């Protein structure tokens, strides 16, 4: 990392909820952070406003059409931001020598390539794209270690686990991964909390009639449509389970999911001596973003301090794997190994898109994922990005065929 005093930052997924949280935090610390590049999918209107406000060196859009539109608008306003497009543009703005920190907040498999490139470039990587580890766990963690990158988890649950781990594990490592049992310092279990989503108390019969509008209405968090559906099916927690498996090098049997409706405890770590450490706070992504940006320091995030008296009580439940089979499928994918988690993630993305377009029902999401896992050839060789992306494409084809067969 450069010692100039100001960290230059590339934000992958600037128009999403994590992107907005990140920009809010750094707006409070202009003496510490400068925006080098912003990227987005196709939201030209939002990117125009962000470029006007932040004046980054580069802006990257997903396709040439969006990039052309954005470039024309910026030139009319005499904004000198250079506009790029596609994967080549994303790679340019994460690999640039001027970049100290990359916030990986592109949703879904689309974020894998630039996030992996950030690790290979030895950057400080703020990981909010869980699919990078779900799809390429060993490959990604090897890239972090081999290139002396610093990997900081931004998902509130993994960031909470990181905060609950001893300094001896986190202070001198280029990644949060624990490399041997002696280094685990008496850690016994990881407890990932989950709100349970909007349908926590619904019966199996009620779940069959869930609409997209209901599914995207999360009770505690302000998130995008895809991740809100994942939260409603508990797939989001399953993906986080896989992410924790790779991040913390913990046997999957020692990672538990705990339903905690208040979303005040963001996760816990249980120790051999009987201690359980928990990280608490208001449900606001600016807290983990600020922690990951400034670690090992602490900076102001803009989040209201937690008033424990307003919370009054904390509830905990075991997840129901019969009503929410997506979580069960994630456990199974980890046990299968190899490309199973790639297939699971791809099938979920296709199924969620179909649900949001009202082509399938809510409970069909898990059914399609299971059908795809059963139909796909699971290979144990995940040694290259090409093999992983090939498995991803094949799985999407299978899921789309399964959807066509339903009609």
Give the closest residue to 213 by CA, choosing from 202, 201, 198, 200.
198
Give the closest residue to 266 by CA, choosing from 154, 127, 156, 189.
156
Q: What angle do CA 68, 71, 77 make, to 5 degrees?
A: 145
Task: State pLDDT tens for residues 109-146.
Answer: 889 999 999 999 999 999 998 888 999 999 999 999 99
CB contact burial 129-148 (16+ within 10 A = b; e otherwise): bbbbbbbbbebbbbbbbeee
Residues of the chain with CATH 3.40.50.720: 7-154
Q: Half-sphere exposure of residue 226, counting CA atoms within 13 Å on the CB side?
A: 17
Q: What angle do CA 201, 204, 207 make, to 5 degrees?
A: 80
DSSP 113: H
| pLDDT, position 359 | 97
| pLDDT, position 159 | 97
Prediction pTM value:
0.91
Q: The tokens of 153 are what? A: 């988890």
> Which CATH architecture does the domain made up of 202-222+320-407 adopt?
Orthogonal Bundle (1.10)
Task: State pLDDT tens for residues 293-342.
Answer: 999 999 999 999 999 999 999 999 999 999 999 999 999 999 999 999 99
7: part of which helix (H) or strand (E)? strand 7-12
Residues of the chain with CATH 1.10.1740.10: 202-222+320-407
Task: State pLDDT tens for residues 58-78.
Answer: 999 999 999 999 999 999 999
Residue 234 phi/psi, 5° resolution? 70, 10
Place of tokens 């279990």: 189
Q: For residues 382 and 339, is the Cβ–Cβ distance under 8 A?
A: yes
Task: State pLDDT tens for residues 244-259.
Answer: 999 999 999 999 999 9
- Contacts for 367 with CB less than 8 Å, ≥ 6 apart: none
Q: The tokens of 320 are what? A: 């129901």
Averaged pLDDT, 22-33: 97
Q: What is 19-32 written as a DSSP string?
A: HHHHHHHHHT-TTT
> Which CATH architecture does the domain made up of 7-154 adopt?
3-Layer(aba) Sandwich (3.40)
The runs of H, that is alpha helices, within 321-381 are 325-336, 340-356, 364-375
Task: State pLDDT tens for residues 172-210.
Answer: 444 555 444 445 689 999 999 999 999 999 999 999 999
| pLDDT, position 184 | 64
Task: State pLDDT tens for residues 145-160.
Answer: 999 999 999 999 999 9
Task: State pLDDT tens for residues 361-399.
Answer: 999 999 999 999 999 999 999 999 999 999 999 999 999
Confidence of residue 5 (pLDDT cuts 50, 70, 90): confident
DSSP 317: B
- Contacts for 298 with CB less than 8 Å, ≥ 6 apart: 290, 291
Confidence of residue 167 (pLDDT cuts 50, 70, 90): confident
Q: How does the average pLDDT of the chain come out, rounded?
A: 93
In angstroms, the CA 236 to CA 168 distance is 30
Q: The tokens of 400 are what? A: 């789309």
In angstroms, the CA 258 to CA 255 distance is 10
| pLDDT, position 131 | 84
């Amino acid at each position: 990392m450069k010692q100039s005093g100001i960290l230059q930052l590339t934000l992958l997924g600037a128009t999403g909820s994590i992107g907005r949280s990140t920009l809010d935090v750094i707006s409070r610390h202009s003496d510490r952070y400068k925006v080098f590049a912003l990227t987005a999918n196709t939201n030209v209107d939002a990117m125009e406003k962000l470029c006007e406000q932040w004046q980054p060196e580069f802006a990257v859009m997903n396709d040439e059409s969006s990039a052309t539109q954005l470039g024309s608008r910026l030139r009319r306003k005499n904004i000198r931001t250079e506009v790029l497009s596609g994967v080549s543009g994303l790679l340019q703005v994460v690999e640039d020598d001027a970049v100290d920190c990359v916030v990986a907040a592109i949703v879904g498999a689309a974020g894998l390539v630039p996030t992996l490139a950030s690790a290979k470039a030895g950057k400080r990587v703020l990981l909010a794209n869980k699919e990078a580890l779900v799809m390429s766990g060993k490959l990604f963690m090897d890239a972090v270690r081999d290139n002396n990158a610093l990997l900081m988890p931004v998902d509130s649950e993994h960031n909470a686990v990181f905060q609950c781990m001893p300094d001896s594990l986190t202070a001198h490592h280029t990644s949060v991964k624990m490399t041997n049992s002696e280094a685990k310092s008496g850690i016994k279990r990881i407890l990932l909390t989950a709100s349970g989503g909007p349908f926590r108390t619904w019966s199996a019969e009620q779940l069959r009639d869930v609409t997209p509008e209901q599914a995207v209405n999360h009770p505690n968090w302000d998130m995008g449509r895809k991740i809100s559906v994942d939260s409603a099916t508990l797939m989001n927690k399953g993906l986080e389970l896989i992410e924790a498996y790779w991040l913390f090098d913990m046997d999957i049997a020692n990672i538990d999911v705990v339903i905690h409706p208040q979303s005040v405890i963001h996760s816990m770590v249980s120790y051999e001596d009987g201690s359980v450490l928990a990280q608490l706070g208001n449900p606001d992504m600016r807290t983990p973003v600020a922690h990951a940006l400034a670690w090992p320091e602490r900076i102001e995030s803009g989040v209201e301090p937690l008033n424990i008296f307003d919370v009054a009580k904390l509830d905990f439940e075991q997840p129901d794997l019969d009503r929410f089979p997506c979580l069960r499928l994630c456990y199974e994918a980890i046990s299968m190994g190899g490309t199973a988690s790639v297939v699971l993630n791809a099938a979920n993305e296709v199924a969620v898109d179909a649900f949001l377009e009202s082509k399938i029902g809510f409970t069909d999401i898990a059914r399609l994922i299971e059908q795809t896992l059963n139909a796909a050839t699971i290979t144990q060789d995940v040694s290259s990005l090409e093999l992983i992306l090939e498995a991803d494409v094949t799985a999407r084809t299978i899921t789309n065929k399964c959807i066509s067969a339903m009609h």
